[in-house]
């Protein structure tokens, strides 16, 4: 059974940092690309970033809203991807989902998502 489990969400003060994890099981994350998206309370999905697989040079892209503050990384030996979030602001509050594209093609969107982890940025 394919599973993605996010963890690491917490309450953090503005300006703080947090690292989210996304652990895959039932498949090999190494062949996949990994996306992160978020959903603010009562709002829609917002794409944050994607990291391609090693064959595609682990190329990464980010939305303008998080570029320079958020960084995606991956450890294929543990089937885990990460989202490092720095200089967090209240607008970053939301549920963060990771998703995988089992076929890492340039225009292939995620085919499976985790259940999400909640991040609250507040003083």
Partner 1 sequence: QAALTQPPSASGTPGQSVTITCTGTSSDVGGYNSVSWYQQYPGKAPKLLIFEVTERPPGVPDRFFGSKSGKMATLTVSRLQPEDEAFYYCISYAGSESWVFGGGTKLTV
Contact footprint for partner 1 (CB under 8 A):
35, 37, 44-47, 50, 52, 59-64, 97, 99, 106-116
Residue closest to 16 by CA, chosen among 118, 117, 88, 83: 88
**13 vs 42, beta carbon nearer partner 1:** 42
Q: How far is the CB of 5 from partner 1 (least distance, A)?
A: 11
What DSSP state is assigned to residue 67? B
Nearer to partner 1, 18 or 37 (CB): 37
Residue 60 or 120 with smaller CB distance to partner 1: 60
Task: Give the separation between CA 121 and CA 74, rounded to whole angstroms.
Answer: 24
């Amino acid at each position: 059974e394919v599973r993605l489990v996010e963890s690491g969400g917490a309450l953090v003060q503005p300006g703080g940092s947090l690292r989210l994890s996304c652990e895959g099981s039932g498949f090999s994350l190494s062949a996949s690309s990994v996306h992160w998206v978020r959903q603010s309370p009562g709002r829609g999905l917002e794409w944050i970033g994607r990291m391609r697989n090693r064959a595609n040079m682990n190329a990464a892209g980010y939305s303008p809203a998080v570029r320079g503050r958020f960084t995606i990384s991956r450890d294929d030996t543990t089937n885990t991807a990460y989202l490092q979030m720095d200089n967090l602001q209240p607008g970053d509050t939301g549920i963060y989902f990771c998703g995988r594209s089992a076929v890492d093609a340039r225009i292939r969107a995620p085919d499976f998502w985790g259940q999400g982890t909640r991040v609250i940025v507040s003083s």
